[in-house]
Structure 1
């Protein structure tokens, strides 16, 4: 579905903000960073991640299609822009420091989809080649959903005088949402690029965008962000 630029103020507007006057979006590029969340090799596998319900193969096929044909290309565009401007780029990834995963948080050990064992050095835990971090870019490893509560990332942001964070990655309703909420709670201004994110289903993706928009972040399209370039 085509979404006309400049519609971001009315897209994903929940009941809570039905009558709110949404201010114009401004980006202070010299105090803004890009954060790419959990776009890792494991999610490109042809079969559902280990411990996922094998009866929903079509769901994961659709997800991989969105990941390959929308999320990764748009994240790559964001990377090219931030790198060309020499603006800071950060990555977060899920990986455990022990082979058996005993260092993972409780949410990562519960039965079901979250219970994916990703040892730190395994190929499955690495960021996909199309988005491979440069040696100068910071990668944080987390054993939690949030890239903030599970790392020293917020301290690094403050040390680097970063006040605004552009976020993309997966999964919209899990690690992305948890990170966005944590950033907002620590008073960072967050912009979430909706077409550079994905949840397992489009329904979950859209629902979560409505929930977090206008309170924890501003949800916009990649093209809308590009319109804000000076």
Structure 2
């Protein structure tokens, strides 16, 4: 099944197949969202209580996908885009203060999303395999959307970008929120599904179905590369 018929929700069953996207290197950017060290770390399972081990095991599929699918595919996409002159940009969650007092409310509430990632600490940095090179732009945010939580909108405008290919973490949270914001600002958006992950495969696939065709086109990184026009 190709991207033109995959991930269709009830809203788009029977709708005509979309046209191929026009991915002009001069006006297209690759945006890597929140693939940071904090999401890669895991505790020693031998030291966990039974309840903690249950949570550890529940997250194992995510970590396997991150290491074997998301990071390798995103790295390959970065290398391809750099070779042909496509702008590569990065967004990361990072607060400006040590105690996180500048964080948005969503990152202060109790629970999994209570994130304290001071900007200079190791946990908030982008993973080594995907590290920005040269003068590639990195924006920091304390919100889910990279567009509303940073200067990214202005940066894209100044670069002359009208189409954004998105990868990153988490499909159903910061990726989805960024995609919706981009669409509302009239950017064309592609989500590279094999460069994204959610806490579970179920959440990943369901969110892709929700955003597909209305906010973006969901496709694989290989399908996106096939639509990039010669530089």
What per-residue deviation string (whole Å, max 9, x for no partner) do you get for residues 16-51 of structure 1? 111221321222232000000000001110239xxx
Provide structure 2 residue ranges, at least 5 long, that are not aligned to the other structure. Answer: 45-50
What per-residue deviation string (whole Å, max 9, x for no partner) do you get for residues 129-184 of structure 1? 00010131000000000000011111111111100000000000000000000000
The residue correspondences of 1:16-27 to structure 2 (distance < 5 A) are 16-26=11-21, 27=23
Normalised by the size of structure 1, how large is the TM-score? 0.93
Structure 2 distance, partners of 1:143, 1:175, is 11
The alpha-carbon deviation at position 100 of structure 1 amounts to: 1.0
Corresponding residue to 2:7 among 12, 33, 44: 12
SS of alignment partner, residue 29 of structure 1: coil
Aligned partner of 2:108 in structure 1 is: 109
Structure 1 distance, partners of 2:107, 2:204, is 20
Deviates most, 12-21 or 182-191: 12-21
Displaced runs of 4+ in structure 1, greater than 4 A?
Answer: none
SS of alignment partner, residue 29 of structure 2: strand
Normalised by the size of structure 2, how large is the TM-score? 0.92
Corresponding residue to 1:36 among 23, 32, 38: 32
Structure 2 distance, partners of 1:190, 1:178, is 12
Aligned partner of 1:177 in structure 2 is: 176
Aligned partner of 1:139 in structure 2 is: 138
Provide structure 1 residue ranges, at least 5 long, that are not aligned to the other structure. Answer: none
Aligned partner of 2:167 in structure 1 is: 168
How many corresponding residue pairs? 221
Structure 1 distance, partners of 2:204, 2:43, is 21
Structure 1 distance, partners of 2:112, 2:169, is 13
Structure 1 distance, partners of 2:173, 2:18, is 27
Structure 2 residue 143 is the aligned partner of structure 1 residue 148: no
Structure 1 distance, partners of 2:92, 2:228, is 28
